[in-house]
Amino acid sequence: MGMNNFMATNRTAPTLAALNAQIAKLQAQAEVLRTKETVEVVARIQEAIKHYGLTAADLGLGGTKSKAAKAAGGGAARKSKGKAVGKKPARKIKFADGQGNTWGGMGKRPDWFKAALAAGRKPEDLLAKTAV
């Protein structure tokens, strides 16, 4: 009787493969949602940047001082401009999604790339127009 109970329970329990398939499906759905949310967040950020007239430097993304830093008289602490030893140049962009996300094709796949694949796009669809 103990063996029959085990076999009956075994038939109704999901298999490891079924659970892994469910996990993969849920992860793909999560990536799609994350990508959608990211697009919405980027749109709100772009709207705020336009509204306030911010520049890349204001956001700490440029090499020059931001308007805010200039207005505050910042600049007391300067970074060393020593020679960068062993620093490699940035890789050329191989993949892009048309929404500002790019990837050189080396290393771990970025989340936006995985989400695009989960949404049915192919790597060939994401090749950057400037890629050779």
Q: Are residues 60 and 110 in the same domain?
A: no
Specify the DSSP element, H or E, that contains 122: none
Phi first, then psi: give them for residue 96, nearest 5 degrees.
-150, 150
Task: State the Cα torsion 68-72-76-79 to the nearest 10°.
Answer: -10
**What residues contact residue 83 under an 8 Å CB cut-off, 6+ apart?**
none
Instruction: Show pLDDT as tens, one digit a residue, over the chain (132 residues).
Output: 555 555 555 567 889 999 999 999 999 999 999 999 999 999 999 898 889 888 888 888 876 665 666 666 655 555 556 566 677 777 788 999 888 899 988 889 999 999 999 999 999 989 988 644
Are residue 15 and residue 62 in the same domain, yes or no? Answer: yes
Sign of the four-CA dihedral 23, 27, 29, 30: positive
Taking the complete model, does pTM exceed 0.75, yes or no?
no
Same structural domain, 60 and 102: no
Looking at the structure, tell me whether residues 107 and 67 fall in a common domain: no
Q: Domain range for residue 111?
A: 90-132
* Number of compact structural domains in the chain: 2
Task: Judge if 50 and 103 occupy the same domain.
Answer: no
Examine the domain organization and report whether 56 and 108 are in the same domain. Answer: no
